[in-house]
Amino acid sequence: MIVDRRSLMKAAAAAPLAALLPRIAAAQQGNINYWHHFTSETEFRGLERVMALFRTRYPNIRLTQENIPNPEYMSKVTTAVVSNSRPNAAMVVAERVNDMVAMGGLTDLTQRIAGWDRAASFPADRWRGATVRDKVYGVPAFTFVDWMYYRKDWFDEAGLAPPRTFEEFQAAAIRMTDPARNRFGFGLRGGAGGAAFVVDMFESFGSPIVVEGRMAIDKPKAVQALTFWSELMTRHRAVPPSAPNDGYRQIMEAFKIGQTAMVWHHTGSLTEIAAAMRAGQYATAPRPAGPAAHIARLTYLFNGIMNPANADAAWAWITFWADPDAAIAFLDATGYFPASPQTAADPRITGNPLYVAAVETTRFGRLPPAFVGAAGWFDNVVLPEFQKVLVGNATPTAAVDAMVRGLEAALR
């Protein structure tokens, strides 16, 4: 359910802003720690800039950050909740909100948001990914906008335009592959993080995932989707042989060194690509459309409060990300879009031709699936079953059957 400004204000009637002001003042002191799963150099640089601005604004709050690798994040969060050793604040992606709320790992922020002067700068849909049963558990920090990078120089040389459909995408991947030169058409992410692309494929071919809390995968469509995706390796050999184990770092390095012609990621990697490649070598484009749907994710990443101890200082930190100076400093370092449309209208975005693809994507992009058990199903079922297909140990049909069984188990 979308929670709008009016409903937030109604929910907070028992705790008016005046009652919060003394607590907000008290937030300017104390020690807090923040868990996140940033990995790249640019992400750390952006975080450091935001933290430096925060220290200037709140000199009496001592903030400590801790990086938790993404594949280990939910395990660490679960352990922290069980052992009551939670951080004060934590990064929260939409697909993990339900799980974290179900285990009692996030604090309800609905009343605080209702009394927050910047809440109205976020449209109603920005809160949806952090909302569970009409309660809000996170504040939008920034946006991942999915898109594609491609080697513009190679495409120009071949007389090809960036692909707009899956059919064109497959043809371009095959055309750009030349194993003798260690060159492949596409950087397939079959390692950590690769499960999300499988789910994108399912929806692109017309299969839903979960509807009203029930397993809704359309098996024939899902098999068709997984066949298309896996055959980039198993049939067409248009991806590097390392694809079954390639995560973020591997697919990005392969693109930067000229091993692959296309790679799918999001706006957050633009600064890394721009620093490693010359102007004119690469360009951006919207992800191509599937036969049934045009799928690209608009993932609003949130910050939440996990530990009620010193919650006011943690609230100061998680809301500071909405400050325009902080949001633009983070954008400059990372390329991550601000979550607030007001800040996203900054000329550094609107005046950059590389962001045209991202602006187009915001018109059709959608939120990722979110349901209790999603994170575990992605990591423990979807990814290993997909890897089995890539290495020839399972058929797409067998993999989809296992994914369906795993999803049914996760939803019980």
Name the pLDDT band for 11 (thresholds 50, 70, 90).
Answer: very low
Instruction: Give percent of the chain above pLDDT 90.
Output: 73
- Number of Cβ within a 10 Å radius of residue 257: 11
pLDDT digits (tens, 9 = 90+) for 196-245: 999 999 999 999 999 999 999 999 999 999 999 999 999 999 999 999 99
- Give Cβ neighbours of residue 344 (< 8 Å, ≥ 6 apart): 143, 337, 338
For the chain, the average pLDDT equals 91
pLDDT at 412 over 80: yes
Q: Rounded distance, CA 287 to CA 297, Å? A: 10
Asked whether 76 and 116 are in contact (CB, 8 A), the reply is no
Q: Report the distance separating Cα 383 and Cα 406, nearest Å.
A: 12
Distance CA 141, CA 165 (A): 32
**Which run of H or E residues covers position 61?**
strand 61-67
Q: What is the pLDDT of residue 360?
A: 85
Question: What confidence score (pLDDT) does residue 3 get?
Answer: 43
Read off φ and ψ for residue 215, nearest 5 degrees.
Answer: -60, 130
* All domains in the chain, ordered by first residue: 5-143+301-354 (3.40.190.10), 145-297+367-411 (3.40.190.10)
Over range 137-157, report the average pLDDT: 95
Per-residue pLDDT, averaged over 163-192, amounts to 97
Q: How far apart are CA 340 and CA 54, in angstroms?
A: 19
Q: What DSSP assignment string belongs to 86-126?
A: --SEEEE-HHHHHHHHHTT-S---HHHHHT-TTGGGS-THH
Q: Which helix (H) or strand (E) holds 272?
A: helix 270-276
CA 369 to chain centre: 11
Top pLDDT among 341 and 166 is at 166
Tokens of 174: 């095959």
Cα 204 from Cα 294, distance rounded (Å): 6
Which pLDDT score is estimated for 23? 52
Closest CA to 136 of 155, 122, 151: 122
Question: ∠189-191-193 over CA atoms, to 5°?
Answer: 75
Question: E-assigned strands of 93-247?
Answer: 131-132, 135-136, 139-151, 210-211, 214-215
Q: How far is CA 305 from CA 19, 139, 172, 309, in A?
A: 20, 9, 45, 10
Instruction: Decide if pLDDT at 7 tops 50.
Output: no
Predicted confidence (pLDDT) at residue 162 exceeds the cutoff of 80: yes
Q: How much is the pLDDT for 188?
A: 98
**Whether residue 13 has pLDDT greater than 60:** no
Distance CA 179, CA 332 (A): 37
* 25 confidence band (pLDDT: 50, 70, 90): very low
Cβ 239 vs Cβ 185: under 8 Å: yes
- Helix 311-320 to helix 41-57 angle (10° resolution) is 120
The mean pLDDT value for 323-340 works out to 87
d(CA 224, CA 205): 7
pLDDT, position 74: 94
pLDDT digits (tens, 9 = 90+) for 335-388: 888 888 878 777 777 777 888 898 788 788 888 888 888 989 999 999 999 999
CA distances from 3 to 54, 123, 131 (A): 28, 9, 7
